[in-house]
Amino acid sequence: MENSVVGYVPILMQFVFAAGFVGATILISHFIGPHRSSKTKDANFECGIEIHGNARLPFSVKYFLVAILFVLFDVEVIFLYPWAVNFREMGMDGMLKMILFMGMLLIGLYYIIKKKALEWE
Amino acid sequence: METSFLIEKGILILVIWGITMLIALYSTFGERVVAAYFQDRRGPNRAGPGGLLQPLADGVKMFTKEDFIPNTPNKWLFIFGPALFMTTALLTSSVLPWGDKLNIFGYEVSLFVADINVAILFILGVISIGVYGIMIGGWASNNKFALLGAVRASSQMISYEVAMGLSIIALLMLSGTLSVREIAAQQGGDFLGISGMKWNIFYQPLGFLIFLVCAFAETNRTPFDLPECEAELIGGYHTEYSSMKLGFFLFAEYISMFISSAIIATLYFGGYNYPGVNWVADHIGPNIATILGVVVLFAKIIFFIFFYMWVRWTLPRFRYDQLMNLGWKILIPLAIANIIITGTAILLLN
C-alpha cells in the first residue's frame, strides 16, 4: 500500500483530465449550436403561463432540518470509521464502548422522531 | 517518481475513461431496449444494425442543439453545476481496482489508477460533492421547478448517505482496511473449499441490502427518482438545461449507475475474483487469470446495471414521506443493528 503523496498523483491526473474533458465539451457544444434569443424565450419555464413572482422563494424549513440532522449524524458516522478499521485489535472492550455510543445515537434518533422532525405531510 | 509510472497511470486513466463512456453510452440504449421488452415492444431499432448506433445519434443531437442559457442572474453557476456533477461522476473510478496484476513483457502493471489507503472515504467524499452539482445547477436556473427538484435531490441524497456510511462500517469491521484494493484482494480467499469465493455478500447480506437501497437513492434512480419526477416537477433540477449541459446531467446519472454497480460488485461480490481463480492461475497462466478476472468483474457490473433497469420498470415511485421514513426510520436503525450483529459474531467466532 502506498502511503506517500505519490499515490495521490494519479487521482490529480484523473481530475485534471475529467475537468478538461467536461470544460472542452461544454465549450465545443456552445460554439456548434445555434443561438437565437428573445425576451420571451429567455424567460423561465413555467408551463407556458406568465412568470409569477421570483424563483428565489423560501422553501419548507423541513429540508433545512434534514440538512442539520445529516451534519449531526454524519459526523457521528465518521467517528465509527477508525473504530471499524481497528475493530479486531480492540476486541470486546471496544465493542462495548461502541455499543454505548451507538445506543446514544439511537436515543437521539428516537428523540428527533418523537419530536416529529421527520414528519412530512 | 518515474516517467514510466506516470505513463502507465495515464494510459490506465484513458482506458478506464473510454470504458466508462462506452458503458454509460450503451446503458442509455440498453435502458430503452430493456424498457421496450418489459412493455412488449421493440425499442430503438432504426439507427444502424439493431439500433446500435442510436446512442451516437443521440450524442450528436445533444451536441448540435442550442446551448440555451435562461434569464438568470447566475450564468456562471448555471454552467458550473452540470460541469461539477459530471467531473465528480468521472472521478470515483480512480480508486476502484479493475483487476489483479498483469505481467506485460516482464513489466508489472496493476489494474487500478490509485491505491490510496482511504479509498472508501474518498468515494464517499466524491459522492457528497456530487450533491453540490445538482444543488448549484437547480438553484442557478432561477426556476421554481428546478429549485424544488434540487432541494429534493439534495435532501434525499444526504439522508441516504448516513445509512450508506453505516452499512459500509460493518464491512470494514470484517476487512479491517479502508483500501478498496485490499478488500477486493481479501475476497479471493477460500469459502467452503472453493478458491476465490470468499465474497462479502455471504458475511454481510443485510449490509448489502442496505447498501443497495442507498445506492439506488444516491443515483436518483427509480423508485427514488423524486428529484426529476416529471408529473410534478416537469424535469426537476434540469428543467432549464439544454444541449450538452443537459446531456451531462443525464449522462452523469448513467455513469454513476455504472460506478455504483462497480462498487457493489467490488465490495460485496468479490470484485475481480471468481470461483477457481487459483486453479486458472496455476494451470493456464496468471495473465489469463487476470484477464478473466476483469471480464468477470464487468459481467457482474453489467448484471447490476441491468438490475437497476429491472427495478425501474418493476417498482413505482415512492412518495416523499415514504422516502424519508425509509431512510431515517428503517435503514439507519437497521444498519446500526447490522454493525452490532457483525461485531458480536466476529467476537464470538474468534
Dump pLDDT digits (tens) for A80-108. Answer: 888 888 888 887 888 888 888 888 888 98
Mean pLDDT of chain A: 81
| pTM (2 d.p.) | 0.89
| pLDDT of A39 higher than 80 | no
Across the interface, whether the CB atoms of A7 and B116 are under 8 A apart is answered yes
Alpha-carbon span B250 to B278, nearest angstrom: 41
Please report which confidence band the pLDDT of residue B210 belongs to, taking 50, 70 and 90 as the band edges. Answer: very high
Rounded average pLDDT over B6-17: 85
Q: Least CB-CB distance to A67: which of B155, B239, B344?
A: B155
- The pLDDT assigned to A2 comes to 47
Which residues pair with residue B104 across a beta bridge? B107
Longest dimension (CA), chain A: 70
Task: Report how far apart, in Å, the C-alpha atoms of A94 and of each of A79, A101, B345 are.
Answer: 13, 10, 14
| pLDDT of B138 higher than 80 | yes
Domains by residue range for chain A, with CATH: 2-114 (1.20.58)
Name which of B68, B77, B129, B135 to mutate to probe chain A: the one with the most chain A Cβ atoms within 10 A of its Cβ.
Answer: B68
Rounded average pLDDT over B39-48: 84
Q: Looking at beta carbons, which residues of chain A come within 8 Å of B87?
A: 15, 18-19, 22
| pLDDT of A1 higher than 60 | no
| pLDDT of B268 higher than 80 | yes
Mean pLDDT of chain B: 84
pLDDT digits (tens, 9 = 90+) for B140-193: 887 778 888 888 888 888 888 888 888 899 888 888 888 888 888 888 777 777
- The pLDDT assigned to A49 comes to 67
Q: Looking at beta carbons, which residues of chain B come within 8 Å of A55?
A: 141-144, 146-147
Please report which confidence band the pLDDT of residue A119 belongs to, taking 50, 70 and 90 as the band edges. Answer: confident
Name which of A14, A42, A47, A59 to mutate to probe chain B: the one with the most chain B Cβ atoms within 10 A of its Cβ.
Answer: A14
| pLDDT of A46 higher than 70 | no
What residues make up the domain containing B222? 2-349
Q: Least CB-CB distance to B142: which of A55, A86, A102?
A: A55
| pLDDT of B59 higher than 60 | yes
Across the interface, whether the CB atoms of B91 and A11 are under 8 A apart is answered yes
Alpha-carbon span B269 to A57, nearest angstrom: 46
Total domains in chain B come to: 1
| pLDDT of B203 higher than 80 | yes
C-alpha Rg value of chain A to the nearest Å: 25
- B176/chain A closest Cα distance in angstroms: 4
- The pLDDT assigned to A3 comes to 53
The three-state (H, E, C) secondary structure of chain B, written as one string? CCHHHHHHHHHHHHHHHHHHHHHHHHHHHHHHHHHHHHCCCCCCCCCCHHHCCHHHHHHHHHHHCCCCCCCCCCHHHHHHHHHHHHHHHHHHHHHCCCCCEEEECCEEEECCCCCCCCHHHHHHHHHHHHHHHHHHHHHHCCCHHHHHHHHHHHHHHHHHHHHHHHHHHHHHHHHCCCCHHHHHHHCCCEECCEECCCCHHHCCHHHHHHHHHHHHHHCCCCCCCHHHCHHHHCCHHHCCCCHHHHHHHHHHHHHHHHHHHHHHHHHHCCCCCCCCHHHHHHHCCHHHHHHHHHHHHHHHHHHHHHHHHHHHCCCCCCCHHHHHHHHHHHHHHHHHHHHHHHHHHHHHHC
* Window 272-311 of B, Cβ < 8 Å to A: none
Alpha-carbon span B294 to B301, nearest angstrom: 11
Angle made by CA atoms B13, B88, B322, in degrees to the nearest 5: 135
Rounded average pLDDT over B266-284: 81
Please report which confidence band the pLDDT of residue B303 belongs to, taking 50, 70 and 90 as the band edges. Answer: very high
Residue of B141 and B73 predicted with greater confidence: B141
| pLDDT of B231 higher than 70 | no
| pLDDT of B309 higher than 50 | yes
Name which of B3, B90, B338 to mutate to probe chain A: the one with the most chain A Cβ atoms within 10 A of its Cβ.
Answer: B90
Task: Tell me what percent of the residues of chain A surpass a pLDDT of 70.
Answer: 86
Task: Tell me what percent of the residues of chain B surpass a pLDDT of 90.
Answer: 6
Contact at 8 Å (CB) between B100 and B290?
yes
pLDDT digits (tens, 9 = 90+) for B123-137: 888 888 888 888 888
Which residues pair with residue B103 across a beta bridge? B108
Q: Is B83 on the interface with A (CB under 8 A)?
A: yes
ipTM of the complex: 0.85
Cell reading at B275: 470461483
Query: Judging by beta carbons within 10 Å of its beta carbon (0-12, 13-18, 19+), is residue A67 exposed, middle or buried?
Result: middle
